[in-house]
């Protein structure tokens, strides 16, 4: 039998923003690299999430690569917040510009990755029957890339069209004249609902948890603003590293919500509301640590909802009361609450009585039956761990990753896992990733991984793996930091709470980008403390 195994220095799983930059970086170091991507194009999140209204909730001038100055100077974002089509265009531009495609195999899912400790080699198999080996394995599999389909009785019997926001058809969907139902009111739904409502004959929104949302106030990005930003691009990027969330625009607040009078606080919130975006959460130091402080911002937003939504009962249903503001991802919207004033939109509370079953063309909630033609599942993702756990990853000494993470993810810095040598995560759990400007955190991790691999090469070392104790300490630290905030108070995907049976552990690192980068720097200066080299 002919051995068709292909051999590389490194294999990267995923060609989203993480995988693309990792490929570019490793190739620049002279390594042979293979990237596997399950989609037929680059872009990750922005390849899959094509639902109407999909756009980034961070401003495009910041949410973009910084690693190449010509790239950031040449590219012109047309809108304040990048739309999905523009972000996908950008990803394709980067792939072309750096000639990335020749090392990416598309339409191919990695099924397994097994480590051979004697040879120090990873062997991967794919769903197309391919096999590849590599010394280095990089999981650039994304944090929100495993769509979660709710297990509702009868859902398979639904005779209409069903769409998940994270698996949206490339050709788009026409809802003209259709009665549409949407389950979920997270960020994806908040963006999609106003647009679907404009097209559909009727839209029924099935809401389990009301969400806080702030107007995005997005619009065209004028050339003057864009060029002014470009003139100071590197300075602005540097400033972002010194902030809690890696966003230059949102530095650390300096005073408590109670250092000011009620009137002044109200004025500050009004200003933040007018500015739009996440500004509201950055008004005071204690909004994410003190319930009392948080409640001032939460109530301010509830008041705006009550002012916007004409039917007081609907308004009250839309007012989030079961979690502090900001502890679930704060949504940015364009006329979300206004949409509930339309005659063709109905809000159905499924908190008290969940969706009981779905049948041919109906959604049943207790005694109420809703007839629909199309069903949109805006039901989120098996966040942060789903994609990596989907691959059968075995370390060759009797452990697999899914088992190692059975009680919740355990990593060192969100970058590597004890017991799994030469296997790296890009923005893995217990790193700031999803609680930061993602591309900034991706670039940081890619650079750290590249430095580790360079060190192995320069010092003729076989492998690197975190020490179990260093990992345990980091996990404990992550939990301690999270527990000093309000974040764990929400049943969020950060906690794994949206997946039945998933261990509830707060997954992102919320000590802030500035602190995290300082910790990493200190670790490196101390001989990569906590990493074991062989
Ligand atoms: P999210 O934020 O996880 O939202 C999923 C929504 O779906 C949320 O409102 C859920 O309610 C709801 N949901 C999930 N399952 C059900 C069932 N069975 N019945 C009723 N409602 C359900 O996902 P998104 O795609 O909106 O956003 C993900 C991230 O992408 C976002 O944070 C941004 O970072 C970009 P719940 O709140 O769990 O009660």
Q: Give the nearest ligand 1 atom to 189 CA.
A: 26
Nearest CA to ligand 1 atom 35: 187
Do 390 and 370 sit in the same domain of this protein?
no
> For strand 374-377 and strand 368-371, is the pairing parallel, antiparallel, or unpaired?
unpaired
pLDDT tens digits along 3-49: 789 999 999 999 999 999 999 999 999 999 999 999 999 999 999 99
- Please say if the pLDDT value at position 2 is more than 90: no
State whether the beta carbon of 379 lies less than 6 angstroms from ligand 1: yes
| In a shared domain, residues 371 and 256 | yes
Distance from the alpha carbon of residue 59 to the mean position of ligand 1, in angstroms: 22
Is 188 near ligand 1, meaning CB less than 6 Å away? yes
* Residue 304 pLDDT: 98
Cα 211 to ligand 1 centroid, rounded to whole Å: 10
The answer to whether residue 161 sits within a structural domain is yes
Pocket test of ligand 1: the residue of 54, 168, 187 to mutate, having most ligand atoms within 8 Å of its CB, is 187
- On whether the CB atoms of residues 80 and 58 are closer than 8 A, the answer is no
Q: Region 215-231: what's the mean pLDDT?
A: 96
Alpha helices (H) along 211-340: 223-231, 233-241, 262-275, 291-308, 312-318
- Cβ atoms of residues 149 and 165 within 8 Å: no
The answer as to whether 238 is a domain residue is no
Query: Which of 196, 380, 492, 497 most suits a substitution to test ligand 1, by most atoms within 8 Å of the C-beta?
Result: 380
Tell me the per-residue pLDDT of 75-101, one tens digit each, with 9 for 90 and over. 999 999 999 999 999 999 999 999 999
Average pLDDT of the residues in 212-230:
96
Given a cut of 70, whether residue 212 has pLDDT beyond it is yes
**201 and 291 belong to one structural domain:** yes
Nearest CA to ligand 1 atom 29: 187
Ligand 1 contact, 183 CB (< 6 A): yes
Contact 379, 183 (CB under 8 A): yes
pTM, to two decimals: 0.97
For residue 236, the 8-state DSSP code is H
CA dist list (Å): 503 to 8, 317, 470, 491, 497: 36, 29, 22, 12, 8
Residue 233 lies in a domain: no
- Do 61 and 127 share a structural domain? yes
Q: What is the DSSP string of 443-467?
A: HHHHHHHHHHHHHHHHTT---EEE-
- What percent of the chain lies above the pLDDT cut of 70? 100
Condensed to tens digits (0 to 9), the pLDDT of residues 345-359 reads 999 999 999 999 999
According to the model, what pLDDT value does residue 4 have?
87
Domain boundary pick from 309, 344, 377:
377
- Kindly report, residue by residue over 174-190, the tens digit of the pLDDT: 999 999 999 999 999 99
Is 497 inside a domain boundary? Answer: yes
pLDDT of 1 above 70: no
**Does residue 209 have its Cβ closer than 6 Å to ligand 1?**
yes
C-beta separation of 95 from 28 below 8 A: no
Residue 197 clears pLDDT 80, i.e. is over it: yes
Does a structural domain hold residue 239?
no
Among protein residues, the one with the nearest Cα to ligand 1's atom 20 is 208
Whole-number Å distance between alpha carbons of 92 and 483? 40
Mean pLDDT of 463-486: 98
Give the atom of ligand 1 at the shortest distance from the alpha carbon of 380.
23
* Domain end residue (candidates: 332, 358, 377): 377
Q: Is residue 221 part of a domain?
A: yes
- The residue from 355, 377, 399 where one domain ends is 377
Confidence category of residue 317, pLDDT binned at 50, 70, 90? very high
What number is the average pLDDT over the span 149-168? 96
State whether 420 and 322 are in the same domain.
no
491 and 356 within one domain:
no
Indicate whether 66 pLDDT > 90.
yes
Residue 350 Cβ contacting ligand 1 at under 6 Å: yes
Say how many Å lie between the CA of residue 318 and the centre of ligand 1. 15
The boundaries of the domain holding residue 94 are 6-146+382-533
Q: Which pLDDT does position 303 carry in this prediction?
A: 98
- Indicate if ligand 1 lies below 6 Å from the C-beta of 143: no
The reported pLDDT for the residue numbered 498 is 95
- Mean predicted lDDT score pLDDT of the chain: 97
- My answer on whether 301 and 160 are in the same domain is yes
User: What Cα–Cα distance (Å) separates residue 192 from each residue in 92, 147, 377, 527?
Assistant: 24, 16, 11, 48
Residue 364 lies in a domain: yes
Q: For residue 264, count other CB atoms closer than 10 A to its CB.
A: 10
% of the chain at pLDDT higher than 90: 98
Task: Cite the DSSP H helix spans in 49-185.
Answer: 69-74, 84-97
Q: Give the residue, by CA position, lying nearest to ligand 1 atom 36.
A: 209
Residue-wise pLDDT tens digits, 375-434: 999 999 999 999 999 999 999 999 999 999 999 999 999 999 999 999 999 999 999 999
Cβ distance 382 to 186 under 8 Å?
no
Same domain, 11 and 87: yes
Of 220, 221, 290, nearest to 255 (Cα)? 290
- Pocket flag, ligand 1, residue 251 (CB < 6 Å): no
Q: How many domains does the chain have?
A: 2
Residue 432 domain-assigned?
Answer: yes
476/402 same-domain check: yes
């Amino acid at each position: 039998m002919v051995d068709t195994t292909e051999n590389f220095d490194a294999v990267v799983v995923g060609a989203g923003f993480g995988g693309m930059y990792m490929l570019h970086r490793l190739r620049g170091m002279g390594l042979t690299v293979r990237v596997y991507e399950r989609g037929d194009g680059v872009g990750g999140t922005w390849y899959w999430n094509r639902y109407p209204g999909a756009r980034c909730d961070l401003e495009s001038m910041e949410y973009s690569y910084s690693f190449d100055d010509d790239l950031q100077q040449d590219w012109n974002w047309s809108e304040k917040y990048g739309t999905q089509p523009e972000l996908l265009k950008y990803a394709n531009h980067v792939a072309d510009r750096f000639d990335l495609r020749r090392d990416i195999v598309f339409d191919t899912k990695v099924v397994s990755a097994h480590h051979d400790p004697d040879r120090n080699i990873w062997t991967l198999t794919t769903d197309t029957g391919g096999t590849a080996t590599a010394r280095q394995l990089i999981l650039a599999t994304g944090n929100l890339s495993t769509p979660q389909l709710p297990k509702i009785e009868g859902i398979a019997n639904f005779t209409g069209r069903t769409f998940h926001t994270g698996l949206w058809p490339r050709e788009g969907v026409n809802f003209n004249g259709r009665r549409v139902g949407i389950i979920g009111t997270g960020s994806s739904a908040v963006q999609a609902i106003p647009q679907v409502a404009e097209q559909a004959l009727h839209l029924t929104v099935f809401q389990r948890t009301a969400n806080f949302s702030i107007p995005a106030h997005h619009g065209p990005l004028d050339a003057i603003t864009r060029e002014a930003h470009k003139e100071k691009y590197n300075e602005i990027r540097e400033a972002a590293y010194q902030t809690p969330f890696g966003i230059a625009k949102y530095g650390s607040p300096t005073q408590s919500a109670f250092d000011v009078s009620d009137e002044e606080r109200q004025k500050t919130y009004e200003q933040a509301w007018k500015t739009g975006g996440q500004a509201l959460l950055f008004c005071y130091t204690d909004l994410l640590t003190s319930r009392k402080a948080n409640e001032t911002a939460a109530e301010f937003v509830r008041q705006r909802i009550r002012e916007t939504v004409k039917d007081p009962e609907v308004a009250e249903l839309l007012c989030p009361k079961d979690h502090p503001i900001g502890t679930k991802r704060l949504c940015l919207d364009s006329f979300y609450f206004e949409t509930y004033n339309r005659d063709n939109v109905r809000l159905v509370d499924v908190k008290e009585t969940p969706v009981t079953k779905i049948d041919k063309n109906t959604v049943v909630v207790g005694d109420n039956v809703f007839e629909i033609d199309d069903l949109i599942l805006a039901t989120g993702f098996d966040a942060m761990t789903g994609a990596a756990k989907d691959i059968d990853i075995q370390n060759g000494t009797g452990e697999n990753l899914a088992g190692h993470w059975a009680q919740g993810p355990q990593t060192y810095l969100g970058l590597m896992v004890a017991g799994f040598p030469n296997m790296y995560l890009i923005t893995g759990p217990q790193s700031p990733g999803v609680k930061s400007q993602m591309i900034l955190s991706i670039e940081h991790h890619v650079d750290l991984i590249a430095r580790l691999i360079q060190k192995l090469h320069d010092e003729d070392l076989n492998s690197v793996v975190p020490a179990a104790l260093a990992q345990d300490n980091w996990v404990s630290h992550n939990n301690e930091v999270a527990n000093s905030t309000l974040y764990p108070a929400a049943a969020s995907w950060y906690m794994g709470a949206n997946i039945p049976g998933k261990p509830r552990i707060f997954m992102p690192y919320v000590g802030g980008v500035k602190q995290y980068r300082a910790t990493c720097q200190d670790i490196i200066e101390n001989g990569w403390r906590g990493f074991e080299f062989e």
